[in-house]
Amino acid sequence: AQKVTQAQTEISVVEKEDVTLDCVYETRDTTYYLFWYKQPPSGELVFLIRRNSFDEQNEISGRYSWNFQKSTSSFNFTITASQVVDSAVYFCALSEAGNAGNMLTFGGGTRLMVKP
């Protein structure tokens, strides 16, 4: 069965610090998809990125970057020069192609607090 682990339940940083959120996953499928979502206090999950299991290229989008390593089953998320607006709960999620549909397995989430 699939599983996603986010070992860091809470991280606190000061504005402008870099921060990395860890995500480790387990799956028996060879084709799968990994996602990161952000949940601000309003509660709505906001999609950040998707990565498929065949694409191990790292990705950078502004201050956000993602490091996908199949060898360690990890899909880590780094925020560079953090800002107060980055404060939220971040979820890593996995979707297996074998499910033939949209079923996300989420990690427990990491609450990021960025202090001014």
Partner 1 sequence: KAGVTQTPRYLIKTRGQQVTLSCSPISGHRSVSWYQQTPGQGLQFLFEYFSETQRNKGNFPGRFSGRQFSNSRSEMNVSTLELGDSALYLCASSFRRAGYDEQFFGPGTRLTVL
- Binding flag, residue 104, partner 1 (CB under 8 A): yes
Q: Of 19-27, 45-53, 64-72, 74-82, which segment contacts partner 1 by CB under 8 A?
A: 45-53
- Binding flag, residue 92, partner 1 (CB under 8 A): no
The rounded distance, in Å, linking the Cα atoms of 48 and 37 is: 5
Q: Which of 85, 36, 77, 40 is nearest to 60 (CA)?
A: 77
- Binding flag, residue 99, partner 1 (CB under 8 A): yes
Q: Which of 26, 21, 19 is nearest to 2 (CA)?
A: 26
- Binding flag, residue 110, partner 1 (CB under 8 A): no
